[in-house]
Amino acid sequence: MFFKNIIGQNELKQSLIQSVKDGYIPHARLINGPEGVGKIALALAYARYLSCTNRGEDDACGVCPSCIKYNKLSHPDLHFVFPIIKVDKKKKEVCDDYMPEWREFVLQNPYFNLPAWLAFIKAENSQGMIYAKESDEIIRKLNLKAYESEYKIMIVWLPEKMHEVCANKLLKMIEEPPEKTVFLLVSENPDRVIVTIRSRTQNLPVPPISKEDMREAIAGLTALNGQTPEEEALLNWVHLANGNYVKAEELLKNGEEIRQNLELFISIMRNCWTKNIKNMKAEAENFASLGRERQKAFLAYAQNLIRENFFFRLHLPEINYLNKEESAFSQNFSPYVNENNVIGLMDELAMAERHVESNVNPKMIFFDLSMKIAILIKK
């Protein structure tokens, strides 16, 4: 990944490049922001530029020995930590055990989210974690001398997924790392990173991708797919993506999943309105058959749709992010999402998502959620 390949974020790119030119290399950065804005891409481009032996004015050279190794993410002084699934039978316990899959996955597309990574390693029913044992691997690697580069770089994707034991064991290493060691912590929920780690890092917030840059990116993506959308459709995709390139790709490639989520949402709301207990139980079975990440993705989708329906009533299209099918449904549904129940509905859906994360029985979660929605929706 080069700086030139990153969608937008021009100010941040120039800031990172200038910091290297000025010799200002913080030992730990917390690169944080919402999904799909290019955080891991920025971390990779910064790491490459830092390691490049023939840096250009605006990017790494791309031809030095360091850059050639970065092309395959195989530089010996570049290390990765990311959420994994422990598989004792296959002796997969630390991130290095997944390194071939990780390199393949990241090289395919540096704009991704946790569900996509877990699906890639066929672990959709698990949640992914950076286990306690990983701290020993990190400390061991960073206490070694650099092999080729001036810097040893440790990129930690989603530090909020660290086991508490792992996070606490890394405190001293992050606060006082070996000389010429750089930590790049890439987070989507920095508030969930333990405070003692956050306090030891320099905060680098990454904003959503601008509309202009997103329009250019989506136009390029549709061209690759052999599509030539009209300007109105293109701008609608930009609006729905809302600065998230992962979402933009999902809108273009995964329309079927979005449609399925909408159908499930509509079915739930109809059952709740009519208090059809039999159908509620049937939908609970359907919900339980989904993988855990799909369950969480649906509940996140449902929360977003409730929010959108609340604002739909205000007739402010600039703050609404509904596709045509969702808008058609919301014409009739939005009056039932109001000041009396919107917070309650959001809270119950968020609670259900947390219960899924805690491995509570999904049938119980879904049926209980349906009963509570049945009460709230009539307020």
Same domain, 91 and 181: yes
Residue finishing a domain among 205, 234, 266: 205
Same domain, 224 and 281: no
Tell me, what's the pLDDT at 102? 95
Q: What's the length of the chain?
A: 379
pLDDT over threshold 70, residue 294: yes
pLDDT over threshold 70, residue 341: yes
Same domain, 194 and 314: no
Which residues span the domain enclosing 46? 3-205
Predicted structure pTM score: 0.72
| CA–CA separation, 374 and 379 (whole Å) | 10
Is the CA virtual torsion 310, 315, 319, 323 positive or negative?
A: positive
Same domain, 33 and 159: yes
Per-residue pLDDT band for 112 (boundaries 50, 70, 90) equals: very high
Domain count, the chain: 3
Same domain, 201 and 231: no
Same domain, 151 and 265: no
Domain with residue 189: its CATH number is 3.40.50.300
Same domain, 269 and 372: yes
Same domain, 15 and 162: yes
Q: % helix / strand / coil in the chain, to the nearest 5?
A: 60, 10, 35
pLDDT over threshold 80, residue 256: no
Q: Report the candidate in 357, 355, 351, 356 with the shortest Cα–Cα distance to residue 372.
A: 351
Q: Residue 290 gets which letter from DSSP?
A: S
Contact 35, 81 (CB under 8 A): no
- pLDDT digit string, tens, across residues 271-281: 988 988 989 88
Instruction: Provide φ and ψ at 377, rounded to 5°.
Output: -70, -15
Whole-number percent of the chain with pLDDT over 70: 94
Tell me, what's the pLDDT at 21? 92
Give every CB contact of residue 263 below 8 A, 6+ residues apart in sequence: none
Tell me, what's the pLDDT at 229? 65
Same domain, 120 and 159: yes
Same domain, 135 and 262: no
* Mean of pLDDT over the chain: 88
Same domain, 245 and 178: no
Same domain, 192 and 219: no
